[in-house]
Amino acid sequence: MDDVAILESIRRQTVAVVPEIDPAEITPDRSLADLGCNSVDRADIVTAVMEELAIEVPLSEFRQGAPVGELVELLRTHA
């Protein structure tokens, strides 16, 4: 699975959970927390991305405050 597809999924699910966020602002260098997602929003987004991409990553592997680029990488290694 390529990084672009994963980033697109993160954008879609982030906007589904927090519609106020402009998808163009969801870039690899930003963290979901920076973009205004609270802790439960972030957990919901990551889980929804896993659901969409049909992969499973233990939630303990996600680092709090990680930039979106790091999420993409982690998700790719489990794809």
Partner 1 sequence: MHTVTVTGVGVVCAIAGDAGAFERALREGRRGVCSCPDGGPPAALLDEEVREALPVLPAGAPDALRRSAERLTRRAPLPLRAAVGVAAEAWIGAGLHIAAVPGDRVGLVVAGSNLTGRHLTDLHDRYANRPAHLPPRAALRLLDTDHVGTISQLLQIRGEGCTVGAASASGNAGLVHGARLVATGEADVCLVVGALADLSAIEERALLNVGAMAPGPVGPPFDETHGGFAYGQGAACVVLESRRSARARGAEVLAELAGWDLRLAANSLTEPDGEAEAATMTRAMSRAGVSPGDVSYVNAHGTGAPLGDAAEAEALRWVLGEAVGGAWVNSTKALTGHCLAAAGVVEAVATVVQMRGGFVHPNPGLAHPADPGLRFAPATGGVRADIGVALSNGFGFGGFNGSVVFRAPA
Residues that bind partner 1 (CB under 8 A): 17-20, 40, 43-44, 47-48, 50-51, 56, 59
- Between 5 and 18, CB nearer to partner 1: 18
Residues 6 or more apart whose CB falls under 8 angstroms from that of 59 comprise 43, 46, 47
CB of 7 to partner 1, least distance (A): 19
Q: Output the six-digit token pair for 12.
A: 């879609």
Find the shortest distance in angstroms from Cβ 22 to partner 1.
16
Closer residue to partner 1 (CB): 26 or 46: 46
Q: How far is the CB of 3 from partner 1 (least distance, A)?
A: 21
CA distance 54 to 29: 25
What is the rounded distance in angstroms from the CA atom of residue 21 to the CA atom of residue 50?
A: 20
